[in-house]
């Protein structure tokens, strides 16, 4: 069965490391739902979070193939254990007439923040799991959405278990 997996990867902060990972996924026809990468507290390392889906066998191959990349220092499938997932979304929506108060109410319910206002628009910042962000967008079904930007998921395991070099 195809399951969603969040894979966290520590990789050398070298030019080209990102394209090695992206190239691996396209060359082997693996699916990438989202991918984020940024430096860590150790400037020689980047941390990448990759959301993919596939059968158990495919995800096992993905993990092995990623591990084989020379730039990959360590990786973990966060979904195997307890973990926290967060994604950031910015949504710019129409805020005129009744929608102006309705959007504010919905943003409050989802613990979002309105971070920019014009006469006709609100821009809402919202963090949470991918499912929460999806739910927020669904709740806006009667509102005109101008633009949605999502960061892709990042994640961390719970407790003392850490992904470090």
Which one of the spans 68-76, 80-88, 128-136, 152-160 is the region binding other proteins (CB under 8 A)? 68-76
Scanning 12-20, 112-120, 131-139, 151-159 for contacts with other proteins by CB under 8 A, the matching segment is: 12-20
Q: Is 56 in the site for other proteins (CB under 8 A)?
A: no
Inter-CA distances, 36 with 1, 29, 46, 56, 153, Å: 25, 19, 10, 23, 7
Residue with tokens 């092995």: 64
Q: Which stretch binds other proteins (CB under 8 A): 30-38, 59-67, 76-84, 134-142?
A: 59-67
* Position 13 contacts other proteins (CB under 8 A): no
Q: What is the CA radius of gyration of the chain?
A: 18
DSSP of 108-156, one letter per residue?
HHTT-EEEEE-SSEEEEEEEE-HHHHHHHHHHTTTS-EEEEEE---EEE
Binders of other proteins in range 88-107 (CB under 8 A): none
For residues 144 and 95, what is the distance between their CA atoms, to the nearest angstrom?
A: 9
Task: Indicate whether 77 belongs to the interface with other proteins (CB under 8 A).
Answer: no
Residue 11 binds to other proteins (criterion: CB under 8 A): yes
Contacts with other proteins by CB under 8 A lie at 11-12, 15-16, 19-20, 23, 27, 57, 60-61, 64-65, 67-68, 70-73, 165
């Amino acid at each position: 069965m195809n399951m969603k997996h969040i894979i966290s990867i520590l990789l050398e902060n070298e030019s080209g490391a990102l394209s090695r990972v992206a190239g691996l996924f396209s060359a082997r026809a693996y699916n990438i739902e989202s991918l984020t990468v940024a430096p860590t507290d150790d400037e020689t390392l980047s941390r990448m979070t990759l959301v993919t889906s596939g059968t158990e066998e495919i995800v096992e191959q993905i993990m092995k193939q990623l591990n084989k990349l020379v730039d990959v220092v360590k990786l973990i499938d966060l979904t195997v254990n307890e973990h926290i997932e967060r994604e950031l979304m910015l949504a710019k929506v129409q805020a005129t007439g009744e929608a102006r108060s309705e959007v504010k109410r919905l943003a409050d319910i989802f613990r979002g923040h309105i971070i920019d206002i014009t006469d006709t628009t609100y821009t809402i910042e919202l963090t949470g799991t991918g499912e929460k962000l999806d739910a927020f967008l669904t709740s806006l079904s009667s509102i005109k959405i101008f633009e949605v930007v999502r960061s892709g998921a990042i994640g961390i395991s719970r407790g003392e278990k850490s992904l470090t070099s």
